[in-house]
Structure 1
Amino acid sequence: MSASAADHVYAIIPAGGVGSRLWPLSRAKEPKFLLDLTGSGHSLLRSTWDRIVPLIGSDHIMVVTGAAHRASVVSQLPDLDGDNLVLESEPRDSTAAICLAAALIARRDPDAIVASFPADHFIGDERAFREVVTEAAQVAATGRLVTIGITPTSPSTGFGYIRTDGTLDPDGSQGLPKSARAVTSFVEKPKASVAREYVASGEYLWNAGMFVARAVNLMGWLRESEPELAAGIDRIADAWGTPAVYEVKAKTWPKLKKIAIDYAIAEPVAAAGQVAVIPGDFDWDDVGDFSAVARQVRKRNPGNLAILGEASVLSESSTGVLVSETDRLIAIIGVQDLVVVDTEDVLMITTSDHAQRVKEMVNMVRQTGNENLL
């Protein structure tokens, strides 16, 4: 990316969500994005920051997070400009977070192209990632919404999919990257049989929740699909930097509609034929459950039992993942695909096959009134 082009590219990192499937490790006070879940020595948030900075610089990165996480985010990202930290009084889902950041950036730079990247994902080949982002920004400059789709490595039922429809610029007349494809639709997480059909067809990519667009276009699409939500965001953005912002935000933010950006913008814009995708062939994972944690830990430390933390472990003929925040000795004998999460106040045990169901246990804990454990 040329220096002049990079001057107008900004990154938005929405850092929210508790990561319920990673309980009791991930909790409201210290959610998934603040944790090291891969054994890298850095939190997922810090890793996200580190792979973006070489592309656009730290002054072009805006982080949106809950007010309760302000101190932790500032501690982990000491180079984050205070003017680029947007605090939510309460979560209102991804559309409000991303579009408020986009609206603020658009008021600073009307030519801005914004790229939104989840704070809690793993990406292996950072150089390949940055090349894909550069291509996505080139396509976004033409007025399209661009998403980054991950080339599937298996028929996963844990991810949403993007259906593509051929090369966007087959004859090169538009000067677009050869990798760019048209998008026909976004598809929810499928059944296993359907996922196999998707992967076999070669027409589908995993939806990684990464979007790139001109900031003014993003807000324009939101005004068409969700006018009340857009109006509320505009009220807050117009008051930003003035004494009135606190009152305006306090009155407006809690009333904003909770809706994911996939539904508010991506799907209707795709239906109008204005979405493109750049395939990413790099290693990617949303680290959504303990099976994913095991995959990432084993990449650094291969073995039958993936261990995250400083626990003392004796394992005999056992497989799975063990995550510990205690210093007690843990002995595991003759069990397969076990998931053990050992914290100071909760011991959670399940299997890899049931890792996605941890969220159900979180609901059960809430029903028992033990909110302090969440």
Structure 2
Amino acid sequence: MVTALIMAGGEGTRFWPLSRSNRPKQFLKLTDDQKTMLQETVERIKELVPPDKVFIATNESYKEAIKKQLPEVPEENIIIEPYKRDTAACIGLASLYIEKKFPGSTMVVLPADHLIKNKERFINILQKAVMTAAVGPNLVTIGIEPTHPETGYGYIHFGELLHTIDEDRVYQVKEFTEKPDLDTAREFLEEGTYLWNSGMFVWRVETIQDKIEKHMPELSKAMERIRQALGTDLEDKVVREEFKELEGISIDYGIMEKASDIYVIPGDFGWDDLGSWPALERVKKVDKDGNVVLGKHYGIDTKNSIIHSEDKVVTTIGLKDIVIVNTRDAILICDKKRAQEVKEIREILHRNGMEECL
């Protein structure tokens, strides 16, 4: 049996000011499918995982939005993280709920806000990852074949070939590298044995719990206390108490960088994490001047820019490689090459008490 955990608790800070704390990226319609990113994620895996076997990990403030957007997912499958403690705690907690409802299942872990262009190919790769996870205590991840020296992604260095399934190769993972500098990213691209880390994982529930017990004993102890409380009147109280004391650690750092039996399958299904505003150039129509325009814009000599306006006409003269985003209460204007720094703008607003804009 295959289940899925979709991680939907992030705030999508690099898409501010369109993405807000009460309406993060996964709840936005950023592609042309007229579905939110979260809805697309559930829709594309239906062939492999029906909605009743899909679990959504999020925080309390997003629960009602998820129920509204995904009425086909049972409410009890929405897992609330009482505190932000990164992906290791998120996955550990979710594994307990999945284990209780579907014991012995294989667990597909997916972010809620990625773009997948070739859905059929994506499911094909996931099925092979499930097969690989089923033959042993294996942790399987999906790597993306890099197209350029990207410094915004982590990398997976792969080594020996484990096996081939219908011409798709499954490699042993040698090491994970966090976001490198540009020179290192160029070296990785030239070497040809590195893949982008997509943040997608497949494993049996008992396998990831065993790895957590071995490599993250404090999290494992907390999980055991939560397990004992599941289904009782103390469940919410115990989950909150245990989560509050946990350290925030990613699954990559806590488990994937330490464990053995880790394998990667290269994915070639048109993946994009839509990490910041310039990513829209890859998914939206680009006009004759290289601009992506959402809303009303009139310009003179404006090229290779991204212009998004909810309620005003935007006019520009003599601009190039600029991001302009207008919402009802905030405007962002930045150099396209520095769009990753939008997260830092949010931190400045927070420090200055501008919570209403976040």
Q: TM-score range by the shorter chain?
A: over 0.9
SS in 2 for 1:163: strand
1:156 equivalent among 150, 158, 162: 150
Tell me what 1:366 maps to: 350
SS in 1 for 2:23: coil
2:284 equivalent among 288, 291, 297: 297
Shift of 1:149: 0.3
SS in 1 for 2:292: strand
Deviates more, 1:235-244 or 1:122-131: 235-244
Aligned amino acid, residue 353 of structure 1: K
Shift of 1:244: 1.8
Answering whether residue 193 of structure 2 is matched by residue 206 of structure 1, we say no
Aligned 8 A contact 2:2 2:48 in 1: no
Answering whether residue 315 of structure 2 is matched by residue 321 of structure 1, we say no
Q: How far apart, in 2, do the equivalents of 1:176 and 1:56 lie?
A: 21
Aligned 8 A contact 2:29 2:35 in 1: yes
Tell me what 1:306 maps to: 292
Change (3 A) 1:43 1:203: same
SS in 2 for 1:117: strand
Aligned 8 A contact 2:11 2:20 in 1: yes
Q: How far apart, in 2, do the equivalents of 1:302 and 1:251 lie?
A: 56
Shift of 1:316: 2.6
Matched-pair identity in %? 36
Shift of 1:46: 0.8
Q: How far apart, in 2, do the equivalents of 1:242 and 1:176 lie?
A: 46
1:69 equivalent among 59, 62, 73: 62
Answering whether residue 223 of structure 2 is matched by residue 259 of structure 1, we say no
Alignment of 1:88-107 (within 5 A): 88-107=81-100
1:223-242 Cα distance to aligned partner (Å, 9 max, x none):
11111112212322332222
Aligned 8 A contact 1:167 1:178 in 2: no
Shift of 1:176: 9.2
1:294-343 Cα distance to aligned partner (Å, 9 max, x none):
322237x77621123xx2211232121112222x2111222111100101
Alignment of 1:324-339 (within 5 A): 324-326=309-311, 328-339=312-323
Change (3 A) 1:303 1:145: farther
Alignment of 1:159-174 (within 5 A): 159-169=153-163
Deviates more, 1:189-198 or 1:237-246: 237-246
Tell me what 2:341 maps to: 357
1:340 equivalent among 324, 327, 340: 324
1:224 equivalent among 214, 223, 234: 214
TM-score (ref. length: structure 1):
0.91
SS in 1 for 2:47: helix
Aligned 8 A contact 1:186 1:267 in 2: yes
1:194-235 Cα distance to aligned partner (Å, 9 max, x none):
111111211000000001111111011111111111221232
Tell me what 1:5 maps to: none
Q: Which contiguous aligned blocks of 4+ residues in structure 1 show a shift greater than 6 angstroms?
A: none
SS in 2 for 1:59: helix
1:156-214 Cα distance to aligned partner (Å, 9 max, x none):
11111100013113xx7xx8975111100111111112111111211000000001111
TM-score (ref. length: structure 2):
0.95
Change (3 A) 1:302 1:101: farther
Shift of 1:19: 1.7
Aligned amino acid, residue 324 of structure 2: V
CA-based RMSD of the aligned residues comes to 1.7
Change (3 A) 1:202 1:372: same
Tell me what 2:235 maps to: 245
Q: How far apart, in 1, do the equivalents of 2:258 and 2:193 lie?
A: 20
1:330-361 Cα distance to aligned partner (Å, 9 max, x none):
11222111100101111110021111111121
Structure 2 alignment gaps of length 5 or more = none
Q: How far apart, in 1, do the equivalents of 2:168 and 2:59 lie?
A: 39
Aligned amino acid, residue 350 of structure 2: R
1:144 equivalent among 127, 138, 145: 138
Tell me what 2:115 maps to: 122
Shift of 1:370: 1.0
Q: How far apart, in 2, do the equivalents of 1:257 and 1:198 lie?
A: 31
Shift of 1:256: 2.0
Q: How far apart, in 2, do the equivalents of 1:344 and 1:178 lie?
A: 48
Counting matched residue pairs gives 356
Q: How far apart, in 2, do the equivalents of 1:122 and 1:279 lie?
A: 16
Q: How far apart, in 2, do the equivalents of 1:361 and 1:290 lie?
A: 14
SS in 1 for 2:3: strand
Answering whether residue 181 of structure 2 is matched by residue 188 of structure 1, we say no
Shift of 1:147: 0.2
1:17-44 Cα distance to aligned partner (Å, 9 max, x none):
1122111111111111111122331111
Deviates more, 1:248-257 or 1:126-135: 248-257
Shift of 1:279: 0.6
Aligned amino acid, residue 190 of structure 1: P
Q: How far apart, in 1, do the equivalents of 2:44 and 2:224 lie?
A: 30
